Structure 1
């Protein structure tokens, strides 16, 4: 038996996961979130928001590489990017690696998340907040997307789960306004939970996305922190060819970028769009 404190995450009433806490680094509840940051011997520093794991030092690279590089290399000519959420800085770090991108706008509702992650998770952003292409805006994502006059080649929604302020980033009005603020042939992507346990949420997203995008779909990655199977990423575009890129083209684009990765590669990219049959069945019925 251990005398260490145990932190539990329980998304479902009969199933959950736990972490042994080696040391609590930060704990506070503000008007937006209940935030905890602690050390774990296996996963390193862990951040939870509203009692749901958001990121860990050990496996964050999988999530951030897949949510960033899949749409960027699929498109091939991204110049203007909008990141909604993502206060830990991981998505920003990956987007900033692409030197051909001209402008990066990031909208985060809680400046406290940004400051905490700069302090406790500095490798997540890796100084990306200092990139001169970045405009950081503290605002609600739905409010911003409704009000802005800017248009983007890529919108990445890196939100919390659909609870609290994160609810606004999973509703039909949000997807509609994202579509309006995309340039021609733009791409929208978003985290969309774990497919095995959150199939209803995936179906709801699909039903909303297909109202506004010719090609509404999903891709996936296995991320240890998000227990229960594969993490799903929503995909919306009017150009179906972006999702159907061949291996040769992806290899050429990646080679030209001179970037290296810890998880992402061209075969992972292509394979991520092949969904399990139970998800295909569920989407076909919706």
Structure 2
């Protein structure tokens, strides 16, 4: 029996493979190579330009931690913006909060949204059609530079800082995001796997520090993103949200609970305790 495998070659010295039980889609829309296939262990897997973006098996870890940590830390998020996130998973988690009145999704590639709506509907779970959702097909860099809107939460749900996603890791973009925050607003983003991509932590800290009152990182274990714990970037116009006690977070969770599979108030607080090798990547002020 011939087995077919997908091999992700994100790193020159380390590759991971997924057994393909069925290829569902393959195309190049002019912006990205899109491939969707099914695996025995991770469900449906979406890749862009040969790099794993999301799997239906473990996406809940990533989406829950980028959505619920800042929302419960802030305590009163009403407006949010997701840059990237065309699969709809981040929308799904943010919209679980009844207090959220509007979420703007800024996605550069309309084909990704339509593709995920059709082929991975469990990821968005109807979030694209929620009346609180506004979809803007635009370059996130340009949108943040030009918009006059202000948000309590900005989630940068981007690819790694290679290729088109690189602009979303620049100091100018982080400065524009800071301008678009409300008084205690928060920006979070995926920041790579520090064991293999340590420079991303250092670069993000240095580029954000001049523009925010509080800059830091927290961690989550996402099986698909190999190499140990994944870093999630944190930047806020206020130092208050990150310092909230676990008791305060738990009280907010109990008062306005959402259904989760990974996130808990205890995980929320513990996620900010960084391993020593990650702490060493953060420059001393």
Q: TM-score range by the shorter chain?
A: over 0.9
What displacement does 1:202 show? Answer: 1.2
Q: Check the 8 A contact 2:160/2:192 in 1, yes or no.
A: yes
Separation of aligned partners in 2, 1:106 and 1:152: 12
Q: Does 1:258 align with 2:257?
A: yes
Q: Does 1:53 align with 2:76?
A: no
Aligned to 1:114: 113
What displacement does 1:61 show? Answer: 0.3
Pick closer, same or farther for the CA change 1:212–1:114 going to 2, 3 Å: same
- After superposing on structure 2, the runs of 4+ consecutive aligned residues of structure 1 that deviate more than 2 Å are none
Separation of aligned partners in 2, 1:211 and 1:33: 33
Separation of aligned partners in 2, 1:135 and 1:67: 19
Q: Check the 8 A contact 2:202/2:283 in 1, yes or no.
A: no
Aligned to 2:127: 128
What displacement does 1:195 show? Answer: 1.0
What displacement does 1:285 show? Answer: 5.2
Aligned to 2:211: 212
The secondary structure found in structure 1 opposite 2:192 is strand
Aligned to 1:170: 169
Separation of aligned partners in 1, 2:90 and 2:242: 20
What displacement does 1:257 show? Answer: 0.9
The secondary structure found in structure 2 opposite 1:234 is strand
Separation of aligned partners in 2, 1:218 and 1:96: 23
The secondary structure found in structure 2 opposite 1:282 is coil
- Gaps spanning 5+ residues in structure 2: where? none
Deviations 1:41-91 (A, max 9, x none): 110100011111000011000000000000000000111101100000000
Separation of aligned partners in 2, 1:190 and 1:76: 19
Query: If the length of structure 1 is used for normalisation, what is the TM-score?
Result: 0.97
Q: Check the 8 A contact 1:7/1:18 in 2, yes or no.
A: yes
Q: What's the C-alpha RMSD, in Å, of the aligned pairs? A: 1.1
Separation of aligned partners in 1, 2:278 and 2:98: 36
Separation of aligned partners in 2, 1:278 and 1:135: 40
Matches within 5 A, 1:1-286: 3-284=2-283
Query: If the length of structure 2 is used for normalisation, what is the TM-score?
Result: 0.98
The secondary structure found in structure 2 opposite 1:137 is strand
Deviations 1:230-253 (A, max 9, x none): 111110013222111111111111
Separation of aligned partners in 1, 2:11 and 2:128: 36
Q: Check the 8 A contact 2:178/2:237 in 1, yes or no.
A: no
Equivalenced residues, count: 285
